[in-house]
Structure 1
Amino acid sequence: MNLSRRNLLTLTGAAVATSALAACGSNKGGLESGSTASPATSAGGAGATLTQWYHEYGEAGTQEAVKKYAAAYDQATVQVKWNVGDYAKLLSAALLTNDVPDLFESEMGPSIDMIKAGQVADLTDVVGADAKKFDQELIERMSYEGKIYGIPQVADMHLLYYRKSLLEKAGVQPPKTFDELVAAAKAVKTKDMGGLFVGNDGIGPIGAALLYASGNDWFDASRTKAGFLDQSFYDALTGFRDLFNSGALLQSASKDWFDGSPFANEETAMQWGGLWSMTDIQKALGDDFGVLPFPAIGSKGKQATMFGAFGTCVAAKGKNVEAAKQYAKWLWVDQTDYQVDFANNYGTHVPAQPALAPECTKLAEGAGADAAKIFTEFGKPASDILWSGAMADSFGAAVSNVVKKNADPAKEMAAVGSKVVAELKRING
């Protein structure tokens, strides 16, 4: 299983300060020195020759699919380059040269640094009125100061998986609040099965879930300081710490949270995981499972889930900027049949255009349909476009200190808040 799309759900979401997270290969995204990419594959066409970059997806058939899409375009010759390894590192290096790819995918669209450096083209006019067809949270996440810089391809999301039969046997309802989640985890735990699993470090990507579910956000309304320096978030952290220490939380499983195996193998009765695992879980458990958003925490809290998405960008310094824009629009705005294929046939994902979800057979009924509804009603981006790596590191370390070292959440988050202010000043320079 490729972890690359998981990366955008953990690292950009800043849930933990680790080097691994939406579905799919090495989750660290760009090529390490000495690694190789598959040869560019030419597609038939007229006019300009375009180079399009993808990271390595783990789902079988994805590489063949994107090459098929490129081959169908008749307004240009599109050469697909499939990059194996640390994609983000390779992409960052390439964007500093004169040999940039005309189009490339990037986690959650381009970073704020790419935009500020003028490395990506403005796609607002290309997308135009069709922007309303996309999930608006996704479009906003790939926009800055009212301009669109990335076209969402497909969305990955987190879900709370639960065994229907085990909760029924324990006499508990599917949890909608954090208190209910804790009670359910304790009720279904046995000597052979954990109540809840969120990661082999006991934390996984839970920091972002706690933030959203407690009614908070990454920044305040003015986007000048942290938006989580609030007692409601501190209470969420200490509440999770109590669960961490209760014995109901499975803290060592056969695979980590981004793999559905612990849940499918009955190592845990509930698991915080990804939609991408649903196909394998269905094969193992049939209909004996359900999915939920993360339960609401506290009086101001609300159910929530995080999602990530790769977005197609056009290099501002590419040799064929206008031709690249038109191909990006053709593929990710106009060709809805390819978008359904991409979301539905290589793992399980949510189309970036919500109206296409009913056409995805895996989202048409049962848990898949529930997931699509959760995405629409409760989905939040794994991070804000201004949320930097330095902020993520600070936030993840603070969450870990509170949960594992019994640190005071107000003091830990105050330090994060200082880092946030400093980083925002740097970014907005």
Structure 2
Amino acid sequence: MSALSNNNWSRRSLFRAAAGMAAAGSLAACGGNTGRSSSGDSLVQYFHAYGEAGTEQAIKRYAKAYKDANVTTQWITGSNFENKLFPALLTKNAPDVFEFHPQLQLVTSGQVADLSDIINPVKDDFNPADIASHTVDGKIYGVRMIDDPQFFYYRPSLFEKAKVEVPQTLEELIEAVNKLTTDKVKGAFLGNDITPVQSPLIWSAGADTLNEKNEIAYHTDAVAEGLGQLRKLFTSGNLLLDAPADWWDPSAFTQGLTAIQWCGMWAMPVIQKALGDDVGIFPFPKVGSAGKFSVTNGGWSMFVNAKGDNVDAAKEYVKWLWIDQKEYQEDWALSYGFHIPPRTSIAQSATKLKSGLPAEGVKLFSEYGHFDNIGWTQAMIAAVNDVIANSVRKGGSPEAALDACDKKVNAELKKLFG
């Protein structure tokens, strides 16, 4: 489930995306009734098109097993899931249930239902950070389905050949990329527009998106310097910038187009199948003297449309699938790519994540992972996308780009917090 993750709404746009999905297509082309009985409520659920084989069939299989409602799945392809989801929520054809990332404006606008009553009985079995990122004024507004750490994959054999060590700093990463580049292989792939690493850059510079008072925390000298370094990397000619599939798809890495790729843990089984033991992972390296390693924790959560006609039935379905059916939750997290189950009890029994590279991924997630900030909205993410576009890709002043971003983010903060 590759993760749109939240970083850039883009699937992965995670930070969002961030958010990407697999093929292109229109909403009208999506869907298919997976309902079971002819009686009871009819519910519609929205999912972005995960890239991993078998995911669509799995979600529809779970829905078909539910006996108390007919559940129809809209499986939405294309790279901007939110551009289809948000307009749909304003219409009579809005979904009853949908996946997304915790976003405060969904709460303040009354768009998503309070799910505290179904989550509180099992709250202690969830990763506390996943509960915190979905909580507003003591109420929990979404059920986390999967946690999706994102980090760098690399080819140890290519590192050895180029006499390169695993980078600890952004400077070392740039140096490694330059040494790893040959006439056939680019040193690294950070996504076709570089935005997947915008939040890790901020965190690795010792900064954050927002502080505890919901004020701008990303505009620091270290972040500005890091943007300058990314510009240097972008203009080096040693980055892969035109991959056939974007960063959430590991094909650029598995096909040997790049020695390093930023991607998610979801891709690990495909990568290991293609490359065997010739693969390692490392976090986003330190940026500046106060730098820290960082890992994006993307992932997806299930929400109930509070403005729909079937709120109670939708909550019952969400409880049944994402609270009660631990077998399906484990299947979703581990059978179609690797994701970390947000339920502690499931994570503890996940043997596929207990050794080797998957265990390393869990360790990076635990030590350096950054979870969703519910106050960091799509508009704010888009504003930082513009910083990457203007300073890294177009070569403008990082300070000027950050100043422009501040105006947009402060306008959003004023809307949310007054």
TM-score (ref. length: structure 2)? 0.88
RMSD over equivalenced CA pairs, Å = 3.0
Go from structure 1 to structure 2 and tell me whether the alpha carbon gap of 1:101 and 1:419 turns closer, same or farther (over 3 Å shift).
closer
Work out which of the residue numbers 73, 83, 89 in structure 2 matches 1:81. 73
1:110-149 superposed Cα distances (whole Å, 9 cap, x missing partner): x333222212211122211522322333322322233211
Query: For residue 384 of structure 2, what is the amino acid of its counterpart?
Result: F
Post-superposition offset of 1:248 = 3.6
Matched, 1:38 2:36: no
Go from structure 1 to structure 2 and tell me whether the alpha carbon gap of 1:121 and 1:15 turns closer, same or farther (over 3 Å shift).
closer
Q: Which residue of 2 aligns with 1:285?
A: 275
Query: For residue 309 of structure 1, what is the amino acid of its counterpart?
Result: G
Q: Which residue of 2 aligns with 1:218?
A: 209
Output aligned runs, 1:10-409, within 5 Å.
10-11=8-9, 24-26=21-23, 32=27, 35-44=28-37, 50-74=43-67, 76-85=68-77, 87-97=81-91, 100-102=94-96, 104-109=97-102, 111-201=103-193, 203-223=194-214, 225-381=215-371, 384-409=373-398
Secondary structure at the aligned position of 1:216 is classed as coil
1:392-426 superposed Cα distances (whole Å, 9 cap, x missing partner): 33322222222233322222212211221111112
| Aligned residues of 1:343 and 1:360 also touching (Cα < 8 A) | no
Go from structure 1 to structure 2 and tell me whether the alpha carbon gap of 1:27 and 1:394 turns closer, same or farther (over 3 Å shift).
farther
Of all paired residues, the percent bearing the same amino acid is: 37
| Aligned residues of 1:7 and 1:22 also touching (Cα < 8 A) | yes
Secondary structure at the aligned position of 1:310 is classed as strand
| Aligned residues of 1:234 and 1:410 also touching (Cα < 8 A) | yes
Post-superposition offset of 1:339 = 1.0
Secondary structure at the aligned position of 1:233 is classed as helix
| Aligned residues of 1:314 and 1:324 also touching (Cα < 8 A) | yes
Query: For residue 84 of structure 1, what is the amino acid of its counterpart?
Result: I
1:176-205 superposed Cα distances (whole Å, 9 cap, x missing partner): 32233223223323232222221234x241
Post-superposition offset of 1:356 = 2.3
| Aligned residues of 1:257 and 1:272 also touching (Cα < 8 A) | yes
Structure 1 runs not aligned, ≥5 long:
none
| Aligned residues of 2:47 and 2:75 also touching (Cα < 8 A) | yes
Matched, 1:412 2:409: no
Structure 2 runs not aligned, ≥5 long:
none
Go from structure 1 to structure 2 and tell me whether the alpha carbon gap of 1:63 and 1:170 turns closer, same or farther (over 3 Å shift).
closer
Q: Equivalents in 1 of 2:401, 2:358: separation in Å?
A: 38
| Aligned residues of 1:357 and 1:372 also touching (Cα < 8 A) | no
Post-superposition offset of 1:258 = 2.4
Post-superposition offset of 1:348 = 2.5
Q: Equivalents in 2 of 1:174, 1:287: separation in Å?
A: 16
